[in-house]
Amino acid sequence: MISKDVQKAVGFLNRGEVVAIPTETVYGLAGNIFDKKAIDSIYAIKKRPRNNPLIVHINNVEKLSSVASEIPDIAHKLAAHFWPGPLTLLLKKQVNIPDYITAGKPTVAVRVPDHPIAIQLLADLDFPLAAPSANPFGRISPTTVEQVDSYFSNEIKMVLDGGRCKKGLESTIVGFEGEDVIVYRLGSISREDIERVIGKKTLLVNKEENSPKAPGMLLKHYAPKTKMYLVDNVNTAIQTIDKERVGLLLFKEPIENPKIAHKIVLSSAGDLEEAAYQLYEAMQTLDKMNLDYIIAERFPAFGIGNTINDKLERASVQ
């Protein structure tokens, strides 16, 4: 069922059911963090490995200390600046946060989503919500109700309709080690924006394999089923096309070429935020077109251009 009825979602969540909820980044598959059965269902529905922990969602910064302990000043500063918003903080967990949320880790990931319906929902519940992105493991995160429904119409009772996600990329995950501020996942907030707020450089630790700290780091992730190649120069890449049905995923210039079956320009104005907003839906659209393969253009390496490149790299043939 797709519905805008927040009280219906409250009812399902209170009964330990899983509900897909809107956030400003992507849709999440939400459940009560204190209900092990609900959390087991999230893992089962997503087919997500149990060693990959979940983000805890709260509706205001005052609740942070009930979820996390030992919060560094710099974390308070980031929360004050970016919440509600697409920043996830990785902090030492409070004792009452169950191990099945953190996959046994001593840290908990937590954020305040910037979406009025998510905030209202959280305010009406007596518990925080764990919510991973509402896609099967390894697939593209959904930014629309329709996309969630196409993934999970049989598995979940309710998708809470909050419209299209206004950011379109996941939250940026930030943790703290000694004096270091570490970005574990590039997301909707750029490293530059974080560095401006904290007044120093961040470290990027997002490419570990095997036992990753934040498994969004897994090299293969967010993948379309159609093969995608990420290239620096699309015009050069077009010269080597050897198939009938090739798609292009472009930043701003609409390249015209008879060899191309379909193309999507993410922002003709050259606006990175707009490109981010369009990215996942464009990947879904191209993926449904029975293309032989997709050529994606590499983005400028600054701001959330770096996030977009990271997502494209993980979605591409390496």
Alpha-carbon gap, residue 185 to 100, rounded angstroms? 21
Q: Would you call 13 helix, strand, or coil by DSSP? A: helix
Closest CA to 53 of 166, 134, 132: 132
Please, what's the largest Cα pairwise distance for the chain?
61
Alpha-carbon gap, residue 59 to 132, rounded angstroms? 16
Nearer to Mg ion, 132 or 247 (CB): 132
Nearer to ligand TXA, 55 or 119 (CB): 55
How far apart are CB 174 and ligand TXA at their closest, in Å?
11
Would you count residue 147 as binding Mg ion (CB under 5 A)?
A: no
- Name the binder of 162 from ligand TXA, Mg ion, none, CB < 5-8 A by kind: none
Amino acid at the residue 42: I
Would you count residue 164 as binding ligand TXA (CB under 6 A)?
A: no
Q: Which of residues 111-150 bind ligand TXA (CB under 6 A)?
A: 113, 131-133
Nearer to ligand TXA, 206 or 247 (CB): 206
20, 26, 265, 275: residue in contact with ligand TXA (rule CB under 6 A) = 26
Kindly indicate which of the ranges 77-85, 132-140, 234-242, 255-263 contains the residues binding Mg ion, using the contact rule CB under 5 A. 132-140
Q: How many CB atoms sit inside 10 A of residue 16's CB? A: 16
- The gap from C-alpha 141 to its chain's centroid, in whole angstroms, comes to 6
Binding-site residue total for Mg ion (CB under 5 A)? 1
CB 307 within 8 A of CB 186: yes
133, 144, 171, 309: residue in contact with Mg ion (rule CB under 5 A) = 133
Alpha-carbon gap, residue 48 to 251, rounded angstroms? 31
Nearer to ligand TXA, 20 or 291 (CB): 20
DSSP category for residue 67: H
Question: Rg of the Cα trace of the chain?
Answer: 19
User: x/- binding map, residues 51-90, to ligand TXA, per CB under 6 A?
Assistant: -xxxx------------------------------x-x-x
- Name the binder of 171 from ligand TXA, Mg ion, none, CB < 5-8 A by kind: ligand TXA
For the record, the structure tokens of 212 come out as 């990753």
Place of tokens 């077009």: 238
Q: Which residues bind ligand TXA (CB under 6 A)?
A: 23, 25-26, 28, 52-55, 86, 88, 90, 102, 105, 107-109, 113, 131-133, 170-171, 173, 185, 213-216
